[in-house]
Amino acid sequence: MEILYVFAGIFVSLGAFFLLAGSIGLLRLPDFYTRAHAQGKADTLGMMLIIFGLFLTQGFTINGAKLLIIIAFIGLTSPVGTNVMLKAAYHCRLIPWFKNDKGNPVNTKQEEEED
Amino acid sequence: MKRIFFIKTAVQFVLLMVVWLLLSGIYDFTHIAMGVLSSTIVVLLHLRLRKYYFHEEEVKEARAKAKHLDPVQLRFGRLVYYVFWLMWQIVIASLQVAAAVLNPKMPIDPALIRFKTKLPNTSAKVILGNSITLTPGTITIEIKDDVFLVHSLMDASFGGILDGSLPGEVAKLYEKKPEQVVGESTIIKSGAEVF
Amino acid sequence: MEKYFIYLSIILTIIIVMPLYRVIAGPTLFDRILGAGAVATKTMVLILMIGMVFNRLDMFIDITMAYAILNFISTVAIAKYLES
């Protein structure tokens, strides 16, 4: 039983690391599209790892089954949510940031939309 | 046609019932009766939606059956393999993003890629879209008919899509030996060409 | 073991505060929504952690599920509204 708890601790710590990476990415990356990368990937894996770690402490009980359902739900809905947001931004003509593209009006389009 | 519709409705009801039983955790008469009642209500509410949105595909399937052709069917053995393969891809993706974010120089070079695909039906497109979002360095922005628009974080990351390995895996879920899946593609790297 | 989860909850709280900067200062509306979504996803994990600390995971799992569904639906609804 103890060894499972150790593994759970390892999984939860790894997940917390990925959540931290997602948060830092949300702060550091230059524009909306790249931030969605951090939100849609690092966060998803971090949550899955943490919930899997908690599943190890529960075993195959009702609680464990519910945790597995949550993992499946997140794996299905997280990319869909990201995609819907990106599609909305693209349809609002938010121009992405590119590396060798100086003077790009990345964040000026939004004011027109809010009028 | 009618039969396929009925079978699908029954499958939906059973799945809803299984989820109810898992979530409630109490197995006496009252709770199970409530589960049956609410599953029925959900199926009835969903019926109109299914008739409206998924009608065409079901008609297509029925026609293929009537002509004794093999309808395009999801292969479940392949799906299990695919899920584990996708898990591994998600791990790689997150490590890449974490490395790019934590690197003080931030070696990112975003690009937009537009490419055409040949996939058998809508659910294959949905699977491909979600998989692109979860695999290294790429996210789906838009799917219009057969054209995908993808945003990639780094230069190295869209190779897996353009050489057809990821769409090929998705096509293998439905057919044994798919043909060339990815059609022509363009890479956009400046703000003036986006729209 | 409970102590470990308490420490982790504190670290998670710090992680949750970071996207709030994006919510307040985000240059576009979409950045703000993305930051709010990030806060919501991390809060789900925090709720589970608290359930682990109090040894009442069965109760907190249901809350987490409701929160996950709510988060997804709110994201889709806002995006659909902005798209039109």
pLDDT of residue B192: 67
Out of B13-27, B164-178, C64-78, the most confident range is: C64-78
**Mean pLDDT taken over chain B:** 78
Using alpha carbons, select from C62, C34, C69 the residue that is nearest to residue C47: C62
The runs of H, that is alpha helices, within A1-115 are: 2-28, 32-37, 43-58, 62-91, 109-114
Q: How far apart are alpha carbons A68 and A74 in whole angstroms? A: 10
pLDDT of residue C37: 87
Structure tokens at C38: 């990030």
Three-state secondary structure call for residue B116: strand
pLDDT band at A115 (very low <50, low <70, confident <90, very high): very low
Q: ipTM more than 0.90?
A: no
Domain ranges in chain C are 2-83
Q: Which CATH number fits domain B76-193: 3.60.21, 3.40.50, 1.10.3470, 3.30.70?
A: 3.30.70
pLDDT of residue C52: 86
pLDDT tens-digit profile of A26-80?
888 888 888 888 888 888 888 889 999 989 888 888 888 888 888 988 888 888 8
Q: How far apart are alpha carbons A30 and A37 in whole angstroms? A: 11
User: Which residue of A29, A65, A98 is in closest CB contact with B190?
Assistant: A98
Question: For B85, phi and psi rounded to 5 degrees?
Answer: -60, -40
CA terminus-to-terminus distance, chain B: 42
pLDDT of residue B64: 66
Judged by CB atoms closer than 8 Å, whether chains meet at A84 and C80 is answered as yes
Would an 8 Å CB–CB cutoff place C3 in contact with chain A? no
pLDDT tens-digit profile of A77-112?
888 888 888 888 888 887 777 776 655 554 444 444
Judged by CB atoms closer than 8 Å, whether chains meet at A50 and C68 is answered as no
Domain ranges in chain A are 2-82
Residue extent(s) of CATH 3.30.70 domains in chain B: 76-193
Separation in Å, CA of A31 to nearest CA in chain C: 8
CB within 8 Å of B81: residues ≥ 6 apart: none
Would an 8 Å CB–CB cutoff place A32 in contact with chain C? yes
Which of the pair, B122 or B127, is modelled with greater confidence? B127
User: CA nearest C73 in A: which residue?
Assistant: A81
For residues B58-71, average pLDDT = 64
């809060």: which residue's tokens? C43
CB within 8 Å of C1: residues ≥ 6 apart: A5, A9
Question: For A59, phi and psi rounded to 5 degrees?
Answer: 75, -165
Which of the pair, A50 or B111, is modelled with greater confidence? A50
For residues B112-121, average pLDDT = 78
User: Which residue of A24, A73, A81 is in closest CB contact with C76?
Assistant: A81
DSSP state of B104: T
**Residue C22 scores a pLDDT above 70:** yes
For residues B165-177, average pLDDT = 75
> Are B105 and A96 in contact, with CB atoms under 8 Å apart?
no
pLDDT tens-digit profile of B4-54?
778 878 888 999 998 888 888 788 889 899 999 999 999 988 887 777 666
pLDDT of residue A112: 44
pLDDT of residue B132: 83
pLDDT of residue B53: 64
The pTM assigned to this predicted structure is 0.83
**Residue C78 scores a pLDDT above 70:** yes
> Which residues from B are below 8 Å from A40, CB to CB?
133-134, 139
Judged by CB atoms closer than 8 Å, whether chains meet at C52 and A69 is answered as no
**Residue A15 scores a pLDDT above 50:** yes
pLDDT tens-digit profile of B68-103?
655 566 677 888 888 888 888 888 878 888 888 888
- Which of A30-44, A100-114, B174-188, C46-60 is predicted least confidently? A100-114
**Residue C40 scores a pLDDT above 50:** yes
